[in-house]
Structure 1
Amino acid sequence: MEHVEPNSEAIHRETDKKTEWQYFDENSNPVHLSKVVHKDKPLIYIYPFGYSRERGVTKKKVHTVELRGWEKIKNIPTSLRSGSTVKLTVGKLKLLMNFIYQSFPEVEKVIVDKNGSSRFSAKTITFNFQDLERVLKAISKETRTYETRKKTAIANELAKVTQKVSPRTTKLSKGALSHHLSFYSDDVSLSEADVDAVLSLISLTPSLNVSVTENFIQTKDKINVAYLDDVIKKFKELMRVKNDNEKNWQSFFESHGWILANIFPFQVVLKGREAYVGGKTIENKEGRVVDFLYQNGFKDNYALLEIKTHNKTLIRKKPYRAPDTFSAHEDLSGAISQCLDQKSTFLTDMGQKYKALDPKVILVVGQKSNLDENQASCFELLRSNQKNVDIVTFDELLEKIKGLKDVLQT
């Protein structure tokens, strides 16, 4: 046998049926059978290993790679080899094998079959080559996407601390969004910011590129339904609170202003939260503040909206006259008086400065579902005879939101 370069791979034995390759150590001694190429059939065996002078030969976890359908090393696709070497520990193949090691801890052999089927067992993994190529291409795509996002994130964070680095943006190519969402389960919880981002993305798309089909409209409806689910969930959580949580309700309605806006039979624009409506004394005290102040779409009138809590009592439990006549509870009568005072003060102090003919006043308070049949009847009579204050209960608002969701779902 001719002299072999130390620490190299070379042909050790050749017959009519196969060629065997060995790895030669620093003394040019053969120490490991590294691969076998058959001549009588398209079959190649690779035997992965490691070698160092101190430890000698170390076998890899997968000690056999069988390549079916290729006659020569040079014919093996470059996705599986580098030059004349087949390695499972480089690039995307390494990422794949790391996953396989975790999922199949007993694996010892990997087969790549040019024409056969993919099969997975505890100790042997068989890939159809086309299946393997698809997996490797997917890994490459995700790796490129990750690298782009990583560089963009680094640049954007650095741009916040120095003007010498410019922020970057990444182009969202066709199919990228659906591909990204395919990684997530159907159990999705969307925040209002998530919904705004998706709708903003749709609005940025040129109209020529969007087919306004039934499917597109249904997609927008699904987004809105997911958002409404989140709103309903938060609404119910606030309804379960036992203490006085008026400030929490005000914050909730400020975040979801459309809920209150839908109470009005006409278009309104929010002019202010906790708005001053007049009434201060000469000592600059006792000013009236309404929770929400709205202006109508024609800007020739205003509307005052006062928020109490769902825990406020609407009707007294004890009948005013037995058995079925009930009077308003002081929670309700006091709130009505407050609303009337705010309206009167607003007209007196602000009516000349701002166009305000006869401001509409709405009071959100209590829960009608807490009333029995006779109490509910008395409440409806009282409410319908209140010409200056419209009374809406919290559970009625919740039903309005649920009704909107039902419309979108159908």
Structure 2
Amino acid sequence: MDGFFVPLDPPDDDPSAADGTRILNFSGDSSELRIFPIYTFPDNEKYLEPKYPQIHTLTMSVPDTDVGVVDFRELLLEWLPSGFVTDYKFGLGLVKDCNRLVRLIEKHTECDEIYFMGGTNVAVAGKQLLLGLERFEAILSEIRRINSRGYDGAARVKDAFVHNALASTLSLEPAVYSLGRHPVSQVLTKAADGVKELTEQEQDALIDTFASESAALARTRPETFLKLHRDIELVNLDRLIQSYEDALARGKKEGFWQNFFDNNAFALQQVFGTPMVSFQSSASVGGVGFAGSGGKVADYLLKNPLTNNVALVEIKKPSTSLLNTKEYRGGVFGPSKDLGGAVTQVMDQAYQLMTSFAGLKLASRADLEAYAVSCFVVIGRTPSSDDEQKSFEMYRANSRNVKIVTYDEILEQLKLLRKFLLPEDSER
């Protein structure tokens, strides 16, 4: 059984078009519905021609149909899945957003038919592309979600633009639109604001250009060079702060943080009040007994690049308790066992280093001095209550030989540095 589209205004150069153009076929024997999408608007230069250059047939099985009383309009409305055009006046076929799917198939296969079947499989069989309806519906659903994110992103950009256009008149603070949380939403929102994302090749070319022209730019346009350099530093700092915050939120263990500070020495440098450079992580500082056991290993051995004086840093995890959970007296909390142990541990490492320093220096042939070994402990999170903060501050203020720093304080140092680097008129 065939269905035809009969034009009300057939083209003058094709008299046979008045008889109609086949757009449907239903086979009762196989219960298969075939669709032949065409253009149905007279002002289209391809009027009554196939919608797609290569894919001319869309086929699917229609179960439980009474062949004797088939009504094509009912068949289209009841059995065509989402994503199909159900009004013959529009030439049938797939909805506009699915045209990209057809173009992809036509570009990379010789298929002239898409056969929709159950399941999620996709395969090429001769000139047929076999496409599972579940896979097709999943693709269409994601396309629609992308559309929705694009609409939402564009709306945020438009709202911010209108707000800022009248902000001075209405005495309002400038608005900054949100990029959204989903990566696709972020890209679409930037695109709505005219921000073009660079490809990897474009990024590489930009980096190469900057590297080769940086000296000339610093000489001829120093202010522009300084601004560009500051912007790059801000991007790096933003990345570091984000990585640091994410690791804190996920409760990473001690080993992770030692690797993190190995790869991001700048973050660890926020602990010191003087310039320090890493000499070695997991450094042996002596303490080996006559039987070869008992060696002490510091998480970090650093030195002052001007005086060569050494410092030791011991790393504990952010979840380490700083204070006892039970009050010693009203409003007073004693240091936790872990905090006290970490302080004693780094002091013992300093003692072992001083004792063995001459031999270690000779063996390493390094420019190191141990005039006065500075000791640092990075541990825990800053207490939240006033009483706990008071107890912690009093304890570490009287820990004269060991400086105790929390993970929150390192993060705050990074954020303060970022704020310092921002230009005064920036809203970032």
Q: Does 1:356 align with 2:370?
A: yes
Q: Deviations over 1:280-301 (max 9, x none)?
A: 1122112111111111113441
Partner of 1:304: 312
Show the counterpart of 1:383: 396
2:294 to 264, 286, 289: 286
SS class of match (1:297): coil
What residue identity is the alignment partner of 1:318?
K
1:364 Cα deviation (Å)?
0.3
TM-score if structure 1 supplies the norm length? 0.51
- Partner residue, 2:353: 346
- Larger helix proportion of the pair: 2
Q: Relative to structure 1, is the Cα distance of residues 189 and 248 closer, same or farther in structure 2, using a 3 angstrom cutoff?
A: farther
Q: Distance in 1 between the 2:250 and 2:205 partners?
A: 31
Asked if the contact 2:270–2:410 (Cα under 8 Å) also holds between the matched residues in 1, the reply is no
Tell me if the contact between 2:217 and 2:225 (Cα under 8 Å) persists in the aligned partners.
no
Cα distance in 2, alignment partners of residues 252 and 195 from structure 1: 26
Q: Distance in 1 between matches of 2:292 and 2:273?
A: 36
CA offsets per residue over residues 64-104 of structure 1, 9 Å max, x none?
Answer: xxxxxxxxxxxxxxxxxxxxxxxxxxxxxxxxxxxxx968x
Q: Which residue of 1 aligns with 2:411?
A: 398
**Superposition pairs of residues 193-204 of structure 1, within 5 angstroms:** 202-204=210-212
Residue in structure 2 matched with residue 83 of structure 1 by the alignment: none
Partner SS state of residue 347, structure 1: helix
Secondary structure of the 2:401 match is coil
CA distance in 1, matches of 2:313, 2:272: 10
Match of 1:19 in 2: none
SS in 1 for 2:370: coil
Shift of 1:391: 0.5
Cα distance between partner residues in 2 of 1:296 and 1:319: 40
Q: Deviation at 1:215?
A: 3.5
Task: Provide structure 2 residue ranges, at least 5 long, that are not aligned to the other structure.
Answer: 1-44, 54-97, 104-190, 362-367, 424-428
Give the partner amino acid of 1:297.
P
Partner of 1:253: 261
Counterpart for residue 336 of structure 1: 343
Mark the CA change 1:196 to 1:60 in structure 2 (over 3 Å): closer, same or farther: closer
Contact 2:270/2:414 (CA < 8 Å) preserved in 1? Answer: no
Q: For the pair shown, which has the larger CA radius of gyration, 1 or 2?
A: 1
Contact 1:268 1:296 in 2 (8 A): yes
**Map of 1:2-41 to 2, 5 A cutoff?**
none
Q: 1:185: Cα distance to partner?
A: 7.6
Match of 2:381 in 1: 367
8 Å CA contact retained: 1:195, 1:227: no
Question: How far apart, in 1, do the equivalents of 2:286 and 2:198 lie?
Answer: 43
**Higher percent of residues as strand:** 1
Alpha-carbon distance change, 299 to 240 in structure 1, aligned in 2, over 3 angstroms: same
- SS at structure 2 position matched to 1:262: helix
| Secondary structure of the corresponding residue to residue 280 of structure 2 | strand
Q: Is the CA contact 1:351–1:357 (under 8 Å) kept in the aligned structure 2?
A: no
**In structure 2, what is the Cα distance between the partners aligned to 1:196 and 1:316?**
53
How many Å separate the matches in 2 of 1:196 and 1:362?
Answer: 40
1:268, 1:295 within 8 Å by CA — same for their partners in 2?
Answer: yes
How many pairs are equivalent?
Answer: 236
Matching residue of 2:248 = 239
SS in 2 for 1:356: strand
CA distance in 1, matches of 2:205, 2:274: 28
Contact 2:380–2:407 (CA<8 Å) still a contact in 1?
A: yes
Identical-residue share of aligned pairs (%): 28
- Contact in 1 for aligned 2:287/2:356 (Cα 8 Å): yes
Separation in 2, partners of 1:299, 1:362: 18
